Structure formats: C-alpha cells, structure tokens
C-alpha cells in the first residue's frame, strides 16, 4: 500500500483527494494536513489529521499539495528534509516559487503541473502541434472560465496553453502575450497570443485555444465537470513518482508523452 499525505486536506481539492485516497484499494491515507483550528481537525479520529507538514512527510511515501502558493516553500522544505516525493498542484506561483520548485527538484523527485487532467495534457500537445502547422495568418486567443472564488487570472492552465502555442511557433510568450484590452486598442498585432478570462458561478474549469483565420477557424476545447478529474490525475502522478530519480517532472512525463 502506498502511503499518501494530503497537504491542505480541508480545501476543495484536498477534500476530493482525501476521499479518493480512502476509497482506493492500493492507497492509504497517511496524513491529512490542515491549518490550526480548521474544521477538519474537529472530526476526531475519523482521519489521521495533522497540522505539521514535516510530520506528515515522515510517515508518507508521497505528498500531494494543492494549497495556496504562500505555503509551498515550507512544504517543499518538509519534503526535501524527509526525502519524500511531492506532487505540486499550487497555481499562480511567482518567480520565487518557481525557483523553490527547481531547487527542491535537485534533491527529490517532484511533479509540477498547471493542470493534472489527462485531457488538458493532451490539449497542450495538440495546441503546440496546431500552432506549428498554422502560420501567423491565424490569430490565437486562449479563453478560460472558472468559478467565482478562483484566486489567480489567467489560470495556470491558460498560461501553460499559451506556452505551448508559443513553443509551437518558436516565439516567446512573454513578448507575444496580450492579457487585457480596453478602449481604442487599434488593430490586433500580428502574431500576438491573446487571453480572455471569465469568472462566475461554480464552473470547474473550461479552456479553449482558438485559431482564427480568414474564412475558417480551429477550436481546441477541454471542459471539466468535476474536480475528481484533477484529483485522479494527481494521484496517478503520485503513484508514478515513487521510485523516480530526483528531478522536476510534469504530466507529459507521467503519461509517457515525452520524446
């Protein structure tokens, strides 16, 4: 049995992950980590609840972290100090957060992905292939929609799709991205990669990469209807990660799509 520690077990994704681990025949919940005073703590002996990430790491074969970026550095330290692989689902990381991920990957194996859906992983590959096949006569827009409580915009998945498009075209996303339009913007700049963000209701996650040419357009779309999609992908990553060499991996590695 693989022992799994869930960091942020009282969050939206944490609760789904905790349930799926307890239902799996090959996994056991080693630790459900929450903040001091959280509601999950008050459940008594139903779950192995802890408030210390390092203690959870010591009794887990793999950690899964879908907490906000503010706590990631401490969680990475706990994973490195205990030599525990970790799956990172935090989005909206800044440069310091990404640097911490890269530093940890020198010591332990970890998976860091903007999205743990197998379908989105394939969408990224298709977006890169389509961008490489279609020239800049096709304008690119990336549309994403999420629930009203999502903290970051554009979503990490939308940015990852933008990187895929930029890679396919052999350009820099930082130089080509357009995140906002307001007022008299003038004609669209050739080769730009636009982003549109929608927030509302309980939308789990929707992403479309639109290639719009003269007289035709190509739309690549993924819609998630349940957070279980991402949780099952994260657990798949956790199973795969055990036994891997130290390094930073993503879902293409997990799915065997890397050349």
Report yes or no: 124 and 148 within 8 Å, Cβ to Cβ: no
Task: Extract the tokens encoding 82.
Answer: 């205990």
Annotated catalytic residue within 146, 207, 222, 258: 146
- Concatenating the DSSP letter of every residue in 193-224 gives EEEEEEE-TT--EEEEEEEE-SS-EEEEEEEE
Confidence of residue 42 (pLDDT cuts 50, 70, 90): very low
Q: Of 167, 152, 160, which Cα lies nearest the Cα of 116? A: 160
pLDDT for 37: 64
Q: Which residue ranges make up each domain of the chain?
A: 2-112+227-254, 118-224
Task: Extract the tokens encoding 102.
Answer: 């890269």
Looking at domain 118-224, which of 3.20.20.140, 2.40.50.180, 3.30.360.10, 2.40.30.170 is its CATH number? 3.30.360.10
Task: Extract the tokens encoding 158.
Answer: 């939308």
Q: Lowest mean pLDDT of 10-14, 41-45, 53-57, name the range.
A: 41-45
Catalytic residue check, 258 = no
Residue bearing tokens 């050739």? 190
Q: Of 183, 194, 192, 195, which Cα lies nearest the Cα of 145? A: 195
Annotated catalytic residue within 150, 207, 222, 258: 150
Catalytic residue check, 146 = yes
- Does position 46 have pLDDT exceeding 80, yes or no? no
Determine the Cα–Cα distance for residues 95 and 97; give it in Å rounded to an integer. Answer: 5
Q: Of 195, 211, 215, which Cα lies nearest the Cα of 139? A: 211
Q: Of 71, 37, 40, which Cα lies nearest the Cα of 54? A: 71
Residue bearing tokens 């743990």? 116
Report yes or no: 2 and 63 within 8 Å, Cβ to Cβ: no
Confidence of residue 143 (pLDDT cuts 50, 70, 90): very high
Domain 2-112+227-254: CATH class, spelled out: alpha beta
Residue bearing tokens 């003269």? 214
Determine the Cα–Cα distance for residues 213 and 217; give it in Å rounded to an integer. Answer: 6
- Does position 259 have pLDDT exceeding 70, yes or no? no
Mapped onto helix, strand or coil, the DSSP state of residue 31 is: strand
Answer whether 0.85 is exceeded by the pTM: no
The more confident residue out of 48 and 5 is 5
- Does position 63 have pLDDT exceeding 50, yes or no? yes
Q: Is 24 left (phi over 0), alpha (psi -120 to 50) or beta?
A: beta
Same fold, 2-112+227-254 and 118-224: no
């Amino acid at each position: 049995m693989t022992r799994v520690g869930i960091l942020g077990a009282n969050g939206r994704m944490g609760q789904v992950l905790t349930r799926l681990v307890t239902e799996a025949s090959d996994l056991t919940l080693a630790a459900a980590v929450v903040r001091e005073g959280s509601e999950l703590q008050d459940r008594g002996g139903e779950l192995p609840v802890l408030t210390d990430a390092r203690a959870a790491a010591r009794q887990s074969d793999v950690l899964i972290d879908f907490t906000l970026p503010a706590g990631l550095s401490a969680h990475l330290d706990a994973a490195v100090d205990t030599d525990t692989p970790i799956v990172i689902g935090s989005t909206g990381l800044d440069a310091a957060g990404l640097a911490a991920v890269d530093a940890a990957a020198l010591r332990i194996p970890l998976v860091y992905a903007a999205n743990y859906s197998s379908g989105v992983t394939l969408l990224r590959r298709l977006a890169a292939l389509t961008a490489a096949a279609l020239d800049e006569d096709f304008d690119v827009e990336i549309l994403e929609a999420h629930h009203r409580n999502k903290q970051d915009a554009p979503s990490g998945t939308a940015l990852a799709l933008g990187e895929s498009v930029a890679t396919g075209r052999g350009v820099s996303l930082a130089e080509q991205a357009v995140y906002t339009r307001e007022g008299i913007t003038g004609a669209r700049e050739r080769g730009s990669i636009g982003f549109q963000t929608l927030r509302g209701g309980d939308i789990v996650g929707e992403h479309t990469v639109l290639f719009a040419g003269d007289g035709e357009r190509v739309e690549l779309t993924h819609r998630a209807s349940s957070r279980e999609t991402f949780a099952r992908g994260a657990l798949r990553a956790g199973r795969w990660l055990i036994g891997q060499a130290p390094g930073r991996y993503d879902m293409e590695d997990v799915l065997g799509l890397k050349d």
